Structure 1
Amino acid sequence: MSADAPVTEMPDVLRAALECADDGIVIVDDARRITHFNAGAERIWKFARADVLGHDAAILTLKCLQADPVADFRDEISLVRCDGSRIKVQIALSSVTTGGALHHIVFARDVTADAERRVRIGLLNTVSDQTNRAVIISDVEQNIVYVNSAFTTLFGYSSGEAEGRRAGDLIAGCHTDRKAIARVIERLMRGGRRGEAEVLVYDKSGQEIWVCARIDAFRDKKGRVKHFFALLEDITETKQLRSLQQLIMSALADEVPIAEIADRLCRRVEEIAPDVVCSLLHIDAAGLVHPLGGPSLPEDYSRALDGLAIGPNVGSCGTAAFYGEPVLATDLDTDPRWQPYKTMPLAIGLRACWSTPVKAKDGRVIATFAFYYREPRAPSNWHRRIVEACVDLGAFAIERKEARAEIARLAYHDILTGLPNRAQLRHLITTAIDACPTGGHVALAFLDVDHFKDVNDTLGHAAGDELLVQLAQRLREQIGPEDMLGRLGGDEFVVLLPHRNAQDAERVAAGITEALAAPLRLGSKLMPMSASIGISLYPDHATDIDTLMQQADAAMYMAKQAGRSTHRMFSAEMNGLAEQRLAMIAALRRAIADNALSLFYQPQVRSCDRAIHGVEALARWHDAALGDVSPAKFIPLAEECGLIEQIGLWSVREACRQMAIWRRAGLNIPSVSVNLSPLNFRNVALAARLKDILAEHALPPDALMLEITEGTFMQDGAAALETMHAIRELGVGLSVDDFGTGYSSLSRLAHLPIRELKIDRSFMRDIDKDAAALAIATAVVRVGQGLRLTVVAEGVETEGQRKMLTELGCDVVQGFLYAPALAPVAFERWLIEHCAEQARAMLGRLDVNPAGRDAVKRSA
């Protein structure tokens, strides 16, 4: 066709070609009439060509064909078709002149599907960029074709830097588990389902990042893999570091030894930081190093460290422990602090060491946590984050184990003297008897201090404690290396003499009596001291432990009857002592039946304002024939003969009766504490009995506090715990008495329904000047605070002790500082005087404010 030929006269072949085109083609003459409308145009506009040919082009609703058509135009528009539907159309307009006439040719293509796809892709990109997980899309050769903004944030590579590079070359490193990723890729290529792997990868600066990579494949309609899709989640904090915490906590819950915990911790750290060798060293109170964990270090290297003293130039760990600050040696070969110690680590390929001190809550360095490296270098950010977590975890584990070890020691040792206690003595006696050869002997000596009660009554309990400590020291000096000394409690001691016959035992007893003849110095006073000693012999007198101990006790009683400061060997005639014991039991039964026991009350005072917190009810017994019988005597006797449960219930009834009297009289005493035996808690009806007693005296449940020992929930735990829960549901308080003198699980204590924790009076000795006593008291107070319990300290005798306890955060104090246990009338007088003293103190503080003082007086 020539350029001047009219369009209407185009050759048939050209017309056929236009008809077959996929695009819509429309020709409009210079009068804006439609002269050509092909099949593609019919599909796009939904017009039949007969309805448009010869008609004005306005029918096509194209702005580009309006009054002054643009010669060349290209755009994507939204087209409304004749049936009202709307599609996206790409329009191209060209103008040609033929035969002197201007014609406009419109090319139209339906791009609705493409437009929708672009919208979806845009939305997906927006969503992808909004997620905090990194997205990588690669081809089958693992060349990156797309990354989202989270990838850029996490790894530091822009999309331009990442696209076109292999993912493995971009973020994998020397410690990346490439095999784990390859296994997932291979499974996908074989048609398997998506998979995931936890791997260590590296950002643009070379810093380590642990990620969980979830990998899937995009396939075409024939199932062939076209692209790989990887979703990377940073699990450095959420999983890897948390796994260290879970490891420590589960190990502590399982009572795993501290060395095994340290070993597990080091192994786990080396898994998540493969380029380090991990070590945990314990620093004892003397500043000596002891390896705890270091599974990748040779045993001879760890042994060489054991017992090494810390110092200012003792490698990385010794120096870090000495100064309490992290120490980095980037090159052991040249670092001056390592010169005396470098040979062995260099020989095993360790070139650098970074050590961080592990500190207890009081600031003591108790361990060091170290990373060794196989090349001279400094720690990465990832390594620093690991150490931050491990230092806290290590401190928690070591302090927890130290506390538990101390509690375990206290379970078998007397807190005052450090000697084996009753429980440990039974084990020692059993061992000695089992090891006794045929024809051999084991002697047992019971020792009771003469007139010890007089020391406590005249000089106070602190002086009495000091006497017992000095006595224990003198006794140690009088026994042989195979002999064993223990304390039963109070002023009663036991000397176990393996391989000793009667004559040997009596020589030891005589030596003890002579050694005690010299007075002890208690402060500025010289205190005369003596003891009564009773001896029994295995197998001559008995073949079982209980009888042997009873016989030694009977012989000791006979020594006292003989005038004290002497010893007696058990004999058959001493069986009369058993008769006396039976007589005392009978008298105790009568006293219970005749209501001859009484309760004395010792005040408990709040540390913060010295207001009355409550009172503790303590049983007393005066017998017409026996006189005043010490609770230390009749309470154990009641336990042995089965009367202790009756005494416990009587004490509750009597204490509630007295509380009701005081409340009716207007005395404000918040609560009364009553000691109960573990036997009481075996009674499933105990809560019901308490409810009846409280109702009888019209007292609210919180007016009563029951004191229990650790043995209550250690023995018959399930039954006792059920009873304890029933009591707490009733509203009655529960207090753990003498805490720390027994052996209980701290994790179990945390789940007991208790409201109060009492520090045993033995912990009060020298608390204001002895670091060990203060540390123990501090630990008990912290346990109470951590469990949100009221902490009560018993045996407080000095203002210095009270101030120290107040600074520790102890809530309540009880002891001779305020008052001994008093009869009800005497306690009432004390309470009135105490309240008056508090009022005077308040008025004194208000002297600077006369108006306030007058207001107080008027209100009084």
Structure 2
Amino acid sequence: MSASDCLVTEIPDVLRAALARADDGVVIVDGAHRITHFNAAAERIWKLSSGDVIGRDAAVLALKCLEDDAGADVREEISLVRGDGSRIRAQVVMSSVTAGGATHRILFARDVTSDAERRVRIGLLHAVSDQTNRAVIITDVEQNIVYVNSAFTALFGYTSEEAEGRRAGELIAGRHTDRNAVAKLVKRLLTGGRRSEIETLVYDKDGEEIWICARIDAFRDKKGRVKHIFALIEDITETKQLRSLQQLIMSSLADEIPITDIADRLCRRVEEIAPEVVCSLLHVDAAGLIHPLGGPSLPEDYSRALDGVAIGPNVGSCGTAAFYGEPVLAEDLDTDPRWQPYKAMPLAIGLRACWSTPVKAKDGRVIATFAFYYREPRAPSSWHRRIVEACVNLGAFAIERKEARAEIARLAYHDILTGLPNRAQLRHLITTAIDACPTGSHVALAFLDVDHFKDVNDTLGHAAGDELLIQLAQRLREHIGPEDMLGRLGGDEFVILLPQRNAEAAERVAAGIAEALSAPLRLGSRPMQMSASIGISLYPDHATDIDTLMQQADAAMYMAKQAGRSTHRLFSAEMNGLAEQRLALIAALRRAIAEGALTLSYQPQIRSCDGAIHGVEALARWHDAELGDVSPAKFIPLAEECGLIDQIGLWSVREACRQMASWRRAGLNIPCVSVNLSPINFRNVTLAARLKGILAEYDLPPDALMLEITEGAFMQDSVAALETMNAIRELGVGLSVDDFGTGYSSLSRLAHLPIRELKIDRSFMRDIEKDAGALAIATAVVRVGQGLGMTVVAEGVETEGQRRTLAELGCDVVQGFLYAPALAPVAFERWLIEHCAEQARAMLGRLDVAPVVEREAVKRSA
């Protein structure tokens, strides 16, 4: 009997049966390398029958470990080639045994192909998990961490070795983490609920705050039982939390919410995303005084105590930060020397530390402070610093925007030149005075017009005229009572409101003003004699409504002029003859329109960037054989009153287009012509269709025409006017807002209107070179226009300094006497040819200089 036969014989029947039924393949090889046992599992693994292999050499199994004569024990995973040529992954364990003096090898084999594939898939999943920028945590049902990816390590600072085995709540949750919400979400998952998301504040290894959005789900077995809990974590500190601050500010500004409400909302939102802090925003005015803007978590008496405190080198954190323009941290208010005079109130309400950062305007001024108070002595975290960095910029933007809006609002009711109430404010003041007038008393209204003011402008220039009006306003203020009110209608016309004054008292005031004006004013070193004509009307004797009262005062003022000027007149019924004159003027205007007596003059508009012509503005002019030159300021309002403005507007467009077509045929390149239209023109629903017909008639593209409108045209609630404006814009014709800033525009409304151009009124040009306020307003208008994608045109530019300042601001186009007044067509043609020639000479000059510079450079280098 052979040794192998002996071994097989020695295997008990029970063991032989067990080997035959084993899940693992069992192979026994004798010392002669012959297979002596090959069970059913081995047949499945190798795809060979036992009859085919028993008694054969072990090489038939293609196992390298069986080829080794050393007989060492083996445990390995191999790629196994089966009888049908297919491959599987197999785990092989082989041992040697000695029986009957012979050595036998017993080999156990198991098909682990599915396990190997699963390991590959898991490896890929690990690789993918480590590539994502979102942190991954997997825990067991007890919330003990079993896996974290590399993004988790990058975000929180814990390695996988430090994290695995610890409870997730102990690792990243902290004082302000919403543990209850997380616990409810996990409980819902364990009881069969669906996945959910949560936003909460967590903490990294160094204790720094991180706002996250976590999507939490469960891994379940085939029976639906939760085996693991999975969390996909995204850092939303920047993308959501800080951007929410920006969105809050921008939406509030768009809705024109008051700055105090914006500050309050900002502070509340900051306290939501940084629960450790109490937030405060203080405004610093031009005098260096502090005024609370927002601090919803601070007691009202504490905020009131801060109001009006002057900034200084040792005035708490905020006053000191505003004084030095640098952040100030007081880690312990009780001991900080800067807080000693002020610490009692904050300590009493549990505030122990304060970190304040100055908020600066673009020009470097400190306009506010943004402060974080803490309930324990401490310094700000990096998260708090990121919040403040965002809020300081947002706060500066909001405050500067509101300052600009407040200034524009002030200008809407005040004359920019003199600072006096303007026409809109005067109507309000007159209404208030009439409403407050006791029975039996009077309100006197005096209209004052400077005599021969046009001569000053024509001989000394507009700057001298403006200076004269400023000095006149100052002198008038000095000679009216404290209850009287002075305003400017425009040009050289002023109004004096005299509450509770009868005719005799009002005439005494007028006489006193005439006497006061007899002393000459000084324009620089030049004395200037001046006088004024004054007309007076009385409420309720002459009229009971504002419009009639103002018309009567105006009529009385013209009577004073006809009486030789430098005097005053009280309205009387005989002055109704003035109405007849008005009718005569209307008749003359009708004839002028019918007979073609109106003309257009053209003023050039010049691009700031290169001095090339941007376009021309067409300005209506009227010369009457009897009346002489009639100012547009006189006949345009009259045309609006008597229904002639629509004819004048359409005539102006047609004549301007005819002239443009003529110039283009002659080879003159003028990109665009601007025509002024009245708000009344935009109530005509056929305006767009008529414009289209005129452009077609003269074969002009729509962008060759720009229509100028006043702010009143789009501030009105006329649906027809807005529809007409949109139809014109769709046609391709441009719309320009004339005299922007002199009315009270809604910027949010302006942004949604089809406007292509803003024109800064000439009144903004005065002192733009030396007055910070005028410069700030011009800057705001330029930024508003260009921020809305509009071209910005500045009118009334008379000096090179004004042009240079506007160019530095980025103003696109300038227009004014610096280049040319409004010219008749022939005169404009001559001007344009000379301007183009001058531009060409300048360009050639620059080209000539370049070679000279190059030659000089070569000489120096040689």
Structure 2 length as normaliser, TM-score?
0.94
Q: Which amino acid aligns with 1:193?
A: R
Aligned partner of 1:158 in structure 2 is 159
SS at structure 2 position matched to 1:94: strand
SS at structure 2 position matched to 1:402: helix
Gaps of 5+ in 2: 854-862
Structure 2 CA distance for aligned equivalents of residues 220 and 105 of structure 1: 37
Aligned partner of 1:450 in structure 2 is 451
Structure 1 CA distance for aligned equivalents of residues 772 and 490 of structure 2: 24
The aligned runs of 1:693-704 (5 Å cut-off) are: 693-704=694-705
CA drift at 1:839: 4.8
Structure 1 CA distance for aligned equivalents of residues 718 and 120 of structure 2: 68
Aligned partner of 1:77 in structure 2 is 78
Structure 2 CA distance for aligned equivalents of residues 845 and 202 of structure 1: 64
SS at structure 1 position matched to 2:703: helix
SS at structure 1 position matched to 2:316: coil
SS at structure 2 position matched to 1:621: strand
Aligned partner of 1:856 in structure 2 is none
Aligned partner of 1:410 in structure 2 is 411
Tell me: CA distance 1:146–1:838, structure 2 relative to 1, closer, same or farther (3 Å).
closer
Aligned partner of 1:654 in structure 2 is 655
Structure 1 CA distance for aligned equivalents of residues 396 and 801 of structure 2: 31
Deviations 1:378-432 (A, max 9, x none): 2111111111111111111111111221222222222222222222222222222
The aligned runs of 1:302-341 (5 Å cut-off) are: 302-341=303-342
Structure 1 CA distance for aligned equivalents of residues 823 and 15 of structure 2: 126
User: Is the CA contact (8 Å cut-off) linking 1:4 and 1:97 kept in structure 2?
Assistant: no
Structure 1 CA distance for aligned equivalents of residues 680 and 184 of structure 2: 64
User: Is the CA contact (8 Å cut-off) linking 1:4 and 1:99 kept in structure 2?
Assistant: no
User: Is the CA contact (8 Å cut-off) linking 2:196 and 2:216 kept in structure 1?
Assistant: yes
Deviations 1:147-176 (A, max 9, x none): 111111111111111111111111111121
Aligned partner of 2:575 in structure 1 is 574
Tell me: CA distance 1:9–1:843, structure 2 relative to 1, closer, same or farther (3 Å).
closer
Tell me: CA distance 1:718–1:392, structure 2 relative to 1, closer, same or farther (3 Å).
farther
Structure 2 CA distance for aligned equivalents of residues 67 and 759 of structure 1: 99
Deviations 1:168-207 (A, max 9, x none): 1111111211111111122122222122221111111111
Structure 1 CA distance for aligned equivalents of residues 386 and 848 of structure 2: 57
CA drift at 1:281: 0.9
Aligned partner of 2:560 in structure 1 is 559
Structure 2 CA distance for aligned equivalents of residues 486 and 711 of structure 1: 21
Q: Which amino acid aligns with 2:832?
A: L
Structure 2 CA distance for aligned equivalents of residues 664 and 196 of structure 1: 70
User: Is the CA contact (8 Å cut-off) linking 2:71 and 2:105 kept in structure 1?
Assistant: no
Aligned partner of 2:36 in structure 1 is 35
CA drift at 1:5: 4.8
SS at structure 2 position matched to 1:161: helix
CA drift at 1:832: 3.8
Q: Which amino acid aligns with 1:26?
A: V
Structure 1 CA distance for aligned equivalents of residues 10 and 562 of structure 2: 150
Deviations 1:593-621 (A, max 9, x none): 11111112222233334333322221111
Structure 1 CA distance for aligned equivalents of residues 776 and 830 of structure 2: 37
Deviations 1:23-68 (A, max 9, x none): 2211122232222222332333343433433333333332222363
Q: Which amino acid aligns with 1:103?
A: H
SS at structure 2 position matched to 1:6: helix
CA drift at 1:565: 1.7
The aligned runs of 1:768-779 (5 Å cut-off) are: 768-779=769-780
Gaps of 5+ in 1: 853-860
The aligned runs of 1:355-754 (5 Å cut-off) are: 355-716=356-717, 718-754=719-755
Deviations 1:134-159 (A, max 9, x none): 11111222211111111111111111
Q: CA RMSD in A?
A: 2.3
Structure 2 CA distance for aligned equivalents of residues 535 and 727 of structure 1: 45
Aligned partner of 2:148 in structure 1 is 147
User: Is the CA contact (8 Å cut-off) linking 1:682 and 1:720 kept in structure 2?
Assistant: yes
User: Is the CA contact (8 Å cut-off) linking 1:76 and 1:90 kept in structure 2?
Assistant: yes
Structure 1 CA distance for aligned equivalents of residues 613 and 88 of structure 2: 87
CA drift at 1:115: 2.0
Which deviates more from structure 2 when the two are superposed, residues 226-235 or residues 713-722? 713-722
Which deviates more from structure 2 when the two are superposed, residues 219-228 or residues 156-165? 219-228
Tell me: CA distance 1:95–1:837, structure 2 relative to 1, closer, same or farther (3 Å).
closer
Structure 2 CA distance for aligned equivalents of residues 282 and 830 of structure 1: 52
User: Is the CA contact (8 Å cut-off) linking 1:734 and 1:753 kept in structure 2?
Assistant: yes
Structure 2 CA distance for aligned equivalents of residues 134 and 733 of structure 1: 54
Structure 1 CA distance for aligned equivalents of residues 750 and 604 of structure 2: 26
User: Is the CA contact (8 Å cut-off) linking 1:28 and 1:36 kept in structure 2?
Assistant: yes
Which deviates more from structure 2 when the two are superposed, residues 109-118 or residues 78-87? 78-87
Aligned partner of 2:217 in structure 1 is 216
The aligned runs of 1:264-343 (5 Å cut-off) are: 264-343=265-344
Q: Which amino acid aligns with 1:495?
A: I
Aligned partner of 1:855 in structure 2 is none
Structure 2 CA distance for aligned equivalents of residues 221 and 836 of structure 1: 89
SS at structure 2 position matched to 1:316: helix
SS at structure 1 position matched to 2:679: coil
Which deviates more from structure 2 when the two are superposed, residues 271-280 or residues 12-21? 12-21
Structure 2 CA distance for aligned equivalents of residues 703 and 717 of structure 1: 27
The aligned runs of 1:71-220 (5 Å cut-off) are: 71-220=72-221
User: Is the CA contact (8 Å cut-off) linking 2:255 and 2:748 kept in structure 1?
Assistant: no
Q: Which amino acid aligns with 1:576?
A: G
Aligned partner of 2:859 in structure 1 is none
Structure 1 CA distance for aligned equivalents of residues 58 and 814 of structure 2: 103
Q: Which amino acid aligns with 2:702?
A: P
User: Is the CA contact (8 Å cut-off) linking 2:760 and 2:781 kept in structure 1?
Assistant: yes
Structure 2 CA distance for aligned equivalents of residues 22 and 353 of structure 1: 73
SS at structure 2 position matched to 1:125: helix
Which deviates more from structure 2 when the two are superposed, residues 507-516 or residues 202-211? 507-516
SS at structure 1 position matched to 2:410: helix
Which deviates more from structure 2 when the two are superposed, residues 263-272 or residues 505-514? 505-514
User: Is the CA contact (8 Å cut-off) linking 2:4 and 2:36 kept in structure 1?
Assistant: no
Structure 2 CA distance for aligned equivalents of residues 828 and 817 of structure 1: 17
Aligned partner of 2:860 in structure 1 is none
SS at structure 2 position matched to 1:604: strand
SS at structure 2 position matched to 1:333: coil
Which deviates more from structure 2 when the two are superposed, residues 74-83 or residues 558-567? 74-83
Aligned partner of 1:827 in structure 2 is 828
User: Is the CA contact (8 Å cut-off) linking 1:197 and 1:214 kept in structure 2?
Assistant: yes
Aligned partner of 2:757 in structure 1 is 756
Q: Which amino acid aligns with 1:498?
A: P
Tell me: CA distance 1:322–1:49, structure 2 relative to 1, closer, same or farther (3 Å).
same
Structure 2 CA distance for aligned equivalents of residues 612 and 194 of structure 1: 66
User: Is the CA contact (8 Å cut-off) linking 2:764 and 2:778 kept in structure 1?
Assistant: yes
Q: Which amino acid aligns with 1:199?
A: T
Which deviates more from structure 2 when the two are superposed, residues 325-334 or residues 154-163? 325-334
User: Is the CA contact (8 Å cut-off) linking 2:769 and 2:801 kept in structure 1?
Assistant: yes
CA drift at 1:690: 2.2
Q: Which amino acid aligns with 1:589?
A: R
Q: Which amino acid aligns with 1:643?
A: L
Q: Which amino acid aligns with 2:83?
A: C
Structure 2 CA distance for aligned equivalents of residues 151 and 783 of structure 1: 45
Structure 1 length as normaliser, TM-score?
0.95
Aligned partner of 1:255 in structure 2 is 256
SS at structure 2 position matched to 1:650: helix
Structure 2 CA distance for aligned equivalents of residues 213 and 102 of structure 1: 62
CA drift at 1:94: 1.3
State the number of aligned residues: 851
Q: Which amino acid aligns with 1:323?
A: Y
User: Is the CA contact (8 Å cut-off) linking 1:137 and 1:228 kept in structure 2?
Assistant: yes
Q: Which amino acid aligns with 1:827?
A: F
Which deviates more from structure 2 when the two are superposed, residues 365-374 or residues 603-612? 603-612
Structure 2 CA distance for aligned equivalents of residues 324 and 812 of structure 1: 37
Structure 1 CA distance for aligned equivalents of residues 141 and 833 of structure 2: 91
CA drift at 1:433: 2.2
User: Is the CA contact (8 Å cut-off) linking 2:600 and 2:620 kept in structure 1?
Assistant: yes
Pairing 1:68–2:66 present:
no
